[in-house]
Structure 1
Amino acid sequence: MSFQRVPGRVSIIVTAYNRARYIRKCLDSLRKQSYNNIEIIIVNDASTDRTSQVIEAWRKSSGVALSRKRRVLEVKMPRNIGFPGAVTTGLFMARGEFIAIQDSDDLSHPKRLEKQVQFLRSHPEVGLVGTNYASFTNGAFNKQEQANWIKYGNDIRETYAAGGHCVCHGTIMFRGSIFDQIGGLTRRMEGAEDYEFIVKFLNNGIPINNIPEVLYYYRAHSLQRSRKYFGKEEDK
């Protein structure tokens, strides 16, 4: 029997490794979403700080876990398996018709999920949609800089065909049925797993696009994963 997905539900995958300092605000941005039919799947990748305690305190204070349409699940990994393994674990746990990604140190605009669901419903040929985003230095949210490397329409396929990158992984939403077909992230390309995941859609002939509106906020800080490999925000 094929996997039965919940119509209309958005499963949001949040992976966290030692993100006690940032994850509460990340989750608050998801709690404030205008789109109600969601489940938040937090994959705690064996954090050694207070990440789990912060998540539990947030659940109790926010009341999200008690809502019929806003469910929260924390998956505690017994050992650290790394970014691609944590994301893919969350993807296997997701029951929604749609799946969204959210980095645990970033924020989403209150209408992000609503607008992405609307886009996918009005463009049935598109399998994945990202958005534009604005970056901010930690502690200076009001001083934002809009990204200028995101591309749209046919330019996306051309960019990836030339070896470029133009979709921000933290902003994406895609159809759960496509994950059932092509699977999750690879471990073959350390530091570029998100890039390979986008390419997998294109190689399977699945159209993707971006919404030009800024619907995501990227926090620049010294401990972010992208600095380990690239030292710049475009490759997060």
Structure 2
Amino acid sequence: MNDFTLHLQNLFRSFPRISKKNSPEEKILTVITHYQKHEWLIECIESIVNQSKKSTDIVVVDDQSDELPQEAMEKFPNVTFVQSSENGGPFKIQQYLLENACHDYILLQDSDDWSHPNRLEILLQTIKNQAADMVGSQLKYHYEFNISEKCPVMPLDPKMELIKNPLIYPVFWPTCLIDRRFALKVGGLSSGFRFGADSEFIRRAVMAGNVINVDQVLYFRRIHPESLTHHPLTGFGSPGRLKVQQLVRKAAQELVNNYSKDGSVSTKAICKTSSASLMYLSGPEIEGLK
């Protein structure tokens, strides 16, 4: 063995070994659900495209808006745009992607909102370091109209707080990075609900797995009168939402009662329906989403 070969061997031995746990090979799909408000979509996508940790794929799913987001489609040729075949709400779309994507993790994002540039990097590092199944973050509200609504503080230990009060919302759904296989293991989303499916799933996930919130503000939520939670037909206090809330709250009480009694956790979504059907519009094709 000559001196040069020996030098190379010693040099390679000195390099730090990358463990499988910290390998950059994990596949991450960022899912942006979108409906109507095209003027905020570009800002939203830019906040995802410019993340310090890049997603493997980014998909924008339009839920049958009156017009396609043509400007965004032209501005972001490396982002995949698809459209739902019917206006079924965000949870039906998200459940389809949980079932059909080939990625390890799903990063959620509402198209009205935007993300901190280090959001994915921090959430991914946390999910690995803490062996977590799902990680959310703190958020900050940005108000587009005059309304008195306090931004919630998410608990760092959602399970402990949920056991104390089964009706709290211990993780803010759009802030989350989720292990896709875990989401399916605990039953997925109640895709038959246009609203409330996030609350129902989160409580099951919190009780069945390791779900945490980080203490950093990584997500910025836009509060406006046309949002699902503030529109007169779908917002807080609307008849349809109140009806769903009754079912979801009953399930929450039963979930925590059973866990406290014998440690059991139901992994059944309470309102499943047929999956969404997605039509390709533009951008790269994504494995599993054909």
Q: Do Structure 1 and Structure 2 share a fold, with TM-score over 0.5?
A: yes
Aligned residues of 2:95 and 2:191 also touching (Cα < 8 A): no
1:59-99 per-residue CA deviation (whole Å, 9 max, x = no partner) reads 14xxxx1xxxxxx3222122212222122123234322211
Q: Does 1:13 align with 2:31?
A: yes
- State which drifts further: 146-155 or 128-137: 146-155
Measure, in 1, the Cα distance between the counterparts of 2:161 and 2:74.
Answer: 41
Q: What is the aligned residue count?
A: 209
Which residue number corresponds to residue 211 of structure 1? 214
Which amino acid in structure 2 is aligned with residue 208 of structure 1? V
Native 8 Å contact 2:183 2:205 kept in 1: no
Q: What is the TM-score when the length of structure 1 is the normalising length?
A: 0.79
| Aligned counterpart for 1:103 among listed residues 94, 98, 110 | 110
1:150 to 2:149 alignment: no
**Aligned-pair CA distance for 1:179:** 2.6
The Cα shift of 1:146 comes to 8.2
Q: Who is 2:130 aligned against?
A: 123
- Change in 2 beyond 3 A, CA 1:42/1:89: farther
Whether the aligned pair in 1 keeps the contact of 2:98 and 2:184 (CA below 8 Å) is no
* Structure ID, larger Rg: 2
State the alpha-carbon separation in 1 of the partners of residues 68 and 51 from structure 2: 25
Q: Establish whether residue 186 from structure 1 lines up as the match of residue 190 from structure 2.
A: yes
Listed as ranges, the matches of 1:56-67 within 5 Å are 56-60=73-77, 65=78
- Distance in 1, matches of 2:43 and 2:139, equals 17
Q: Residues 35-54 of structure 1 correspond to what in structure 2 (within 5 A)?
A: 35-51=53-69, 53-54=70-71
Aligned pair partner of 2:235 in 220, 229, 234 = 229
The question of whether the paired residues in 1 share the 8 Å contact of 2:139 and 2:151 is answered with yes
Q: Which runs of 5+ in 1 are unaligned?
A: 1-5, 66-71, 140-144
Aligned-partner SS, 1:177: helix
Moved more, 220-229 or 91-100: 91-100
Contact 1:191 1:229 in 2 (8 A): no
AA in 1 matched with 2:112: D
Q: TM-score scaled to structure 2, two decimals?
A: 0.65
**Structure 1 residue 17, shift from structure 2 partner:** 1.4
SS at match of 2:104: strand
Deviation at 1:200, TM superposition (A): 2.1
SS of the residue corresponding to residue 226 of structure 1 reads coil
2:144 pairs with one of 128, 131, 138 = 138
CA RMSD of aligned residues (A): 2.5
CA distance in 2, matches of 1:131, 1:87: 19
Aligned-residue offset at 1:183: 4.1
**Match status 1:28 vs 2:46:** yes
